[in-house]
Amino acid sequence: MLKPKNPYTFFNTYCLRTPLLPLNRVLNALQKRGFEDESLKEYWQNTHLKEAVFLASPYLFSELELLFEGTITSVKKAEKLKQSFLKYVLRASSRCTPFGLFSGVSLGHFNDTSCIELETTKTLKRRTRLDVNYMVALSNYLEKEPVIKNQLVFYPNSSLYKIADQYRYIAFEIDGLKRSYAVEGIEYSVYIETVLNEAKMGKTITELAVTITDETITEEEATHFIHELIDNQVLSSELEHSISGTDMLSQTLVTLKQLKQCDSNIQDLLSIQKTLQKLDDTDRNTSEDYKKCNPILEALGVPYETKDVFQTDLFTTTKNNALNKKVAHELRRALPLLSSLNKKDHNPHLEQFKKAFKERYETRKIPLAMALDIEMGVGYIQNEAVSNTVSFLNDITPQTDHSSSQNFSLSEIEISIQKLMFDALKNQHYSIELKEAIFADREVSIDHLPDTLSALIEVITLNNEECVYIHSFGGSNGANLLARFCEETGELFDYVKEMTCIEQQMNPHSVLVELIHLPEARVGNVIKRPHLRAYELPYLGKSNLPLEQQININDVLVFIKNNRIVLWSKKLDKAILPRLTNAHNYTKNTLPIYHFLCDLQTQNIQKKLGFSWGALANNHSFLPRVCYKTLILSKATWIIETKKFQSLFKLDKNGANLLDLISGWRATIQMPQYVQLKEADNTLLINLENTTMLHLLFDSVKRKTQFILEEFLFTEKPIVKNEDNDFFTNQFVVSFYNEEKLKKAVNYAN
């Protein structure tokens, strides 16, 4: 491989993700032929785990209380509850993905040697807040109260734009937890224009009504007209919540404190805020501690379910948190190889847009909203069937012809990997190793990588050698997995802010703007973040930055230059680069303008690095482990036909030979004792030498035609321990930046 100059280096800080409970204790419990009831009872005594279960499912928590009190007489129901609780035990002992109190995050720093020691659960820190879905419902409820509504300041809908003799905007309806969007239009009139212009700086209903009251329109008629605009979502109130900045409860309090006759609501919200703080200050909370909020919530008058009220993030504390910097160096050195394993990202949507735009507008600068208007402009995602969530496009978007055949060609590297796989399968090898020779004489460029990017890895020990499994590598920027855990202050915020500032420094001729959009209320729980950039672009969302730091879509022009889509802010007289600093999968159930802005983040950028079996995964029931030096690029994986697995249970006539039957089956396919059931991003640890776990696996997959098992690698010397010498699974988020580009930009600025 012709090694390119590698301009990337790593940040000295990393994020460590660990489960609530140690792995060794659940492995010890699983060593027996079954998972005994006494072990489950012992886990139920863990108050942190009980609290985590309550927050995840209050109903299950109540049922488990009855189970362990011995008041459930139905054997079938009891077994089902035991399985449900066992899944939570396994989740809290093996999975690092942040979810409530089941796993947490901490910051560490690279050093010459690794030394990671967690403090005991007594020192866990957490942040509890009201669920975004509840806060949105509360905001809508308060806004309808006349005494509040008449004092609120209103602004134009952030998606609104004028085209020809009409104003168009996006309105939404809520059905349960889902939002469905539709384009709405209102005919232009001088009165509407006046209201919208006045509302840009924020005005009350009375103030807006006065602006259109004249000899032909009474104040009462004008007020009624303003109310109609509000009801039809042409105007949005200041009570609308922002997913950037402070927490939503604090945002609501700031607004209400500026109004009169809101003392009762303010006191209720302050009481909730105080209760939440007490929960966070207390080491162990019971379900009754959370229920203390119920009378206050009921007094506010907004319907709620306990399971949808609280959101909690867990922050683990460490005595030592240092990872050997050789891990980061190995990842950095592997960047060219990992880049070459993936074809350069080609976004057909952007290419189609460029083609349509150039044919219609050539090199002209066109207002963004006009260019993306489906009727008057060229639209976006022209040749894709749009999700039903965006219902207004269903009848006017050309459908893709899926009947045409497509030709696929393999690269030289893919052909070499395919040969390695066939050799491994033929010779029953458990793993394959990629050698430098595969990449010989191949010129590799990494100029098309993002300015910052991150790797999500697991550090494990195999055969007494420290190895790194790469779960994912890439992203539109290096902070996507971190921003949701930030507050407005603190070490994590400083780290993420450093990253976003570096990105801005690298692009001195453009302004990086953060996209602010709330696609679904509950999604807000994982995309909420502090202000991370100097400018924000709200679209069906609210920014709390000063107006001069907000970019409205009507301020944005779009044009093509050097075969590249460029966005231009009239206000700033500069190019702008949209950024979405969270892990939201924006490609699903979203809006064309938002989709377009998000896609532009990675224009001509390779956002995903690493190994993928691609189409080969569809043709084989076993995929061997793939390694490169000490890096594991892909875990050994088995695609199991459910009927074949179920047949083993049928052969076990008397229930005494199941383990022997499974053992014989495993031997024929080289399957280890510990595996994970994999469903999308979710995993479930399984010990195939434990009858309880086998039945758990059986019940988990019985309605599927096939399922995926992958090897579980945390079975040797762990790198993460606690003060009691228990060991934990781990994930590290390691971020990188283009140091050479940064130096050039700094030198240019000076």
Statement: residue 618 has pLDDT above 70: yes
Q: Which residue has the tokens 């488990």?
A: 64
pLDDT of amino acid 99: 94
Question: In the structure, what pLDDT confidence band is assigned to residue 443 with cuts at 50, 70 and 90?
Answer: low
Question: In the structure, what pLDDT confidence band is assigned to residue 49 with cuts at 50, 70 and 90?
Answer: very high
- Domain 153-237's class? alpha beta
Question: In the structure, what pLDDT confidence band is assigned to residue 378 with cuts at 50, 70 and 90?
Answer: very high
pLDDT of amino acid 396: 27
E strand or H helix at 512 = strand 510-516
pLDDT tens-digit map of 67-90: 999 999 999 999 999 999 999 999
**In angstroms, rounded to a whole number, what is the distance separating the alpha carbons of residues 156 and 627?**
55
The Cβ-side half-sphere exposure at 233, using a 13 Å CA radius, reads 19
Q: Which residue has the tokens 């075969």?
A: 563
Q: Which residue has the tokens 């607004």?
A: 255
Q: What are phi and psi of 210, to 5 degrees?
A: -60, -35
Sheet with 682-687, edge to edge strand ranges: 622-623, 637-641, 706-711, 674-679, 682-687
Which residues lie closer than 8 Å to 596 by C-beta, 6 or more apart?
A: 349, 353, 372, 380
Residue type, 123: T
Q: Are 455 and 734 in contact (CB under 8 A)?
A: yes
pLDDT tens-digit map of 267-297: 999 999 999 999 999 988 999 999 999 999 9
Q: Where are the beta strands (DSSP E) in 164-203?
A: 166-175, 178-187
* Nearest Cα residue to 168 out of 461, 444, 392, 338: 392
Domain ranges of the chain: 127-134+244-315, 153-237, 348-399+477-604
Q: Are 82 and 89 in contact (CB under 8 A)?
A: no
Burial (CB count <10 Å: 0-12, 13-18, 19+), residue 165: exposed
**In angstroms, rounded to a whole number, what is the distance separating the alpha carbons of residues 499 and 225?**
47
Q: Dihedral through CA 352, CA 358, CA 363, CA 366, nearest 10?
A: -70
pLDDT of amino acid 257: 97
Please give the average per-residue pLDDT across 695-720, as a whole number: 94
pLDDT tens-digit map of 562-589: 999 999 999 999 999 999 999 888 887 6
Helix axes 37-44, 47-56, angle to 10 degrees: 90
* Nearest Cα residue to 727 out of 28, 13, 14: 28
Which residues lie closer than 8 Å to 13 by C-beta, 6 or more apart?
A: 107, 108, 109, 495
pLDDT of amino acid 681: 87
pLDDT of amino acid 408: 54
Extract the tokens encoding 336.
């060219």
Please give the average per-residue pLDDT across 175-183, as a whole number: 80
Residue type, 569: S
pLDDT tens-digit map of 310-350: 999 999 999 999 999 999 999 999 998 898 887 776 889 99
pLDDT of amino acid 4: 66
Please give the average per-residue pLDDT across 397-409, as a whole number: 41
User: How is 247-309 classified by DSSP, letter by letter?
Assistant: -HHHHHHHHHTTSSS-HHHHHHHHHHHHHHHHHHHSSS--HHHHHTTHHHHHHHT----GGGT
Lowest mean pLDDT among 472-486, 592-606, 613-627: 613-627
Please give the average per-residue pLDDT across 614-629, as a whole number: 89
Residue type, 664: G
Lowest mean pLDDT among 374-378, 396-400, 517-521: 396-400
Lowest mean pLDDT among 115-124, 126-135, 299-308, 376-385: 376-385
pLDDT of amino acid 3: 63
User: What is the value of pTM for the model shown?
Assistant: 0.93
User: How is 40-71 classified by DSSP, letter by letter?
Assistant: HHHHHT-HHHHHHHHHH-HHHHHHHHHHHHT-
Of all residues in the chain, what percent carry a pLDDT higher than 90?
A: 78
Q: Are 103 and 96 in contact (CB under 8 A)?
A: yes
Question: In the structure, what pLDDT confidence band is assigned to residue 734 with cuts at 50, 70 and 90?
Answer: very high
User: How is 374-402 classified by DSSP, letter by letter?
Assistant: TTTS--SSTTSPPPTTBGGGTTTSPPP-T
Q: Which residue has the tokens 């893709």?
A: 400
Q: Are 287 and 71 in contact (CB under 8 A)?
A: no
Question: In the structure, what pLDDT confidence band is assigned to residue 442 with cuts at 50, 70 and 90?
Answer: low
Please give the average per-residue pLDDT across 20-35, as a whole number: 91
Strands 556-561 and 235-237: unpaired
Question: In the structure, what pLDDT confidence band is assigned to residue 216 with cuts at 50, 70 and 90?
Answer: very high
Residue type, 8: Y
Please give the average per-residue pLDDT across 601-613, as a whole number: 91
Question: In the structure, what pLDDT confidence band is assigned to residue 372 with cuts at 50, 70 and 90?
Answer: very high
Residue type, 244: S
Statement: residue 410 has pLDDT above 90: no
Residue type, 647: S
pLDDT of amino acid 385: 35
pLDDT of amino acid 73: 92
Statement: residue 403 has pLDDT above 60: no
* Nearest Cα residue to 601 out of 586, 589, 590: 586
Residue type, 480: N
The Cβ-side half-sphere exposure at 459, using a 13 Å CA radius, reads 26
Q: Which long-range contacts (CB under 8 A, 24 or more apart) does 438-444 make?
A: 438/413, 439/1, 439/337, 439/340, 439/413, 440/1, 441/1, 441/2, 442/1, 442/2, 442/340, 442/412, 442/413, 443/2, 443/4, 444/1, 444/2, 444/3, 444/4, 444/336, 444/337, 444/339, 444/340
Statement: residue 479 has pLDDT above 90: yes
* Nearest Cα residue to 161 out of 656, 539, 414: 539
User: How is 616-679 classified by DSSP, letter by letter?
Assistant: GGGS-SEE-EEEETTEEEE--EEEEEHHHHHHHHHH-SSSSSHHHHHHHHHHHHT--SEEEEEE
pLDDT tens-digit map of 104-116: 999 999 999 999 9
**In angstroms, rounded to a whole number, what is the distance separating the alpha carbons of residues 571 and 547?**
11
pLDDT tens-digit map of 457-477: 999 999 889 999 999 999 999
pLDDT of amino acid 304: 87
Statement: residue 680 has pLDDT above 60: yes
Which residues lie closer than 8 Å to 118 by C-beta, 6 or more apart?
A: 18, 106, 316, 317, 318, 319, 720, 721, 722, 723, 728
Helix axes 58-69, 37-44, angle to 10 degrees: 120
* Nearest Cα residue to 565 out of 360, 343, 368: 368
pLDDT of amino acid 440: 67
Please give the average per-residue pLDDT across 632-644, as a whole number: 96
Q: Three-state SS across 408-426?
A: CCCCHHHHHHHHHHHHHHH
Statement: residue 34 has pLDDT above 80: no
Please report, for residues 115, 318, 694, 698, the alpha-carbon distance to residue 108 in angstroms, rounded to integers and kept in the order given.
10, 9, 38, 40
Tally DSSP H helices, then E strands, for the chain. Answer: 26, 30
